[in-house]
Amino acid sequence: MVELFINVLKTARPRQWVKNLSLYAPLIFSGKLFNTEAFLLSTAAVIIFSGISSSIYFLNDIIDIENDRRHPFKKFRPIAAGKLPVPLAFFFSVAGFMISFFLASKLSFFFFLVCFAYFALQILYSFYLKNLEILDVMSIATGFILRVYAGAIILNYHVSSWFLLCVISVALFLAVGKRRAELTILASTAASHRKTLSHYSESLLDGYLSIFSTSAWLSWALFTFFESPPVLVKPGFLYTLLPLTFSGSNKFLMLTIPVIIYIIMRYLRIIYNGSRAESPERVIFSDKPLLGTILLWGVMIILIIYGVD
C-alpha cells in the first residue's frame, strides 16, 4: 500500500506544481497579498490547477507509455516501469478531473472556463500538438498564460499588457529551453523519443532562445517603466526614509531588471549544460544560485510594492 501511494504521488508530479505558483502573480501585483479573502481564493485556485495538472500527467503517462520506456530517464516513471497499473492510473486521472472541475465551478464560472480551456489544451497537446513543430512550443507557453489569467480572473484583476507580454516571452523561453535540453540529452536518438525534435536543429533552437530571452527581460523592463503597480496608498516604512524624488514603485521596480537578466543568463547556462534543463522545475530546485536569485527577486517585488510596515 505504501509503495502504491509513493508511485501514485510520483506520477502526480508534485514538483511540477511549482508552475502553478504563477497564479499568485495577479495577487501580488494587485496589492492584495495580505488580504485574507483574496489570498485564500488564489490558494484555492492554485490547488485546483495542481489537481488538473496531476490528472493530466496520469493521462499523459498512459498515452506515452511506449515512448517513455525507451527514454533514458522517463523509463523509470511508475506507469512506464509497470509499478502503477494503467487502469488504476486512468481512475486517478478521471477522479482528479471531476473533483477539480467541481471545485472550480464553485469558485467562479469564468475561472471554470479557464480551467476547462487549460484541460482542453493539454488533451489536445497530448494527442496532437506535441507532434507539430513550433505549435508544440506555443502550446506549452499558452499553458503558462492561462495560469496567469486564471489567477487574475479569480480576483477580478486586470492584467497589464506589458506584464502579459512578459509572461508570454518567459513561457516561450522556458518551452524552447526544454526542447533545446532534450536535443542535447537525447542526441542522435532524439527523433525516436519526440517527433518534433527531428524538425529542430541546435542552431534553430539557439535562435529561438536568443529571441525569447531578449524579449523576456526587455518586456519586464518595459513593464517596470510604464505599467508597474503603484505604491500602496499607505506607504510602508521603506518609503518614509526616502525623499519624494525616489518614491513610487515604478522607479524601484527597475532595480529588479539586473536580477531578471542574471536569472535568464544563469538558466541559459544550464540549458547548454543539458543535464537538468529538460525539466524547468528540476532546474529551479537543483541550482542554488538560480533558486536564490529567484527568491531574491520575489522578496524585492514584495518589498517594493508593499514597503516595510
pLDDT in tens, 33-83: 889 999 999 999 999 999 999 999 999 889 888 877 877 777 888 888 888
Using the predicted structure, report yes or no on whether residue 245 has a pLDDT greater than 70. Answer: no
Quick: pLDDT tens for 78-100. 888 888 888 899 999 999 999 99
> Region 134-154: what's the mean pLDDT?
92
Q: Which three cell numbers stand for residue 267?
A: 538558466
Percent of the chain with pLDDT over 70: 87
| Residue with cell string 492584467 | 159
169 — pLDDT class (breaks 50, 70, 90)? very high
Q: What is the DSSP letter of 224?
A: I
List of residues 6+ apart from 88 with CB closer than 8 A: none
Q: What is the pLDDT of residue 233?
A: 42
Q: What is this structure's pTM?
A: 0.85
Q: Among 128, 133, 141, 127, which Cα is nearest to 22's? A: 141
> Region 102-111: what's the mean pLDDT?
95
Q: How far apart are CA 17 and CA 4, in angstroms?
A: 21
Beta-carbon count within 10 A of 44 CB:
17
Using the predicted structure, report yes or no on whether residue 273 has a pLDDT greater than 80. Answer: no
**238 φψ region: left (φ > 0), alpha (ψ -120 to 50), beta (else):** alpha
Using the predicted structure, report yes or no on whether residue 282 has a pLDDT greater than 60. Answer: yes
Structural domains in the chain, CATH included, are: 1-159 (1.10.357.140), 173-309 (no CATH)
Query: Maximum distance among all alpha carbons in the chain?
Result: 65
Q: What is the pLDDT of residue 184?
A: 75
User: Which residue type does 108 have?
Assistant: S
Q: Strand (E) positions, 127-183?
A: none
Q: How far apart are CA 253 and CA 306, in angstroms?
A: 12
Q: What is the pLDDT of residue 100?
A: 96
Q: What is the pLDDT of residue 250?
A: 55
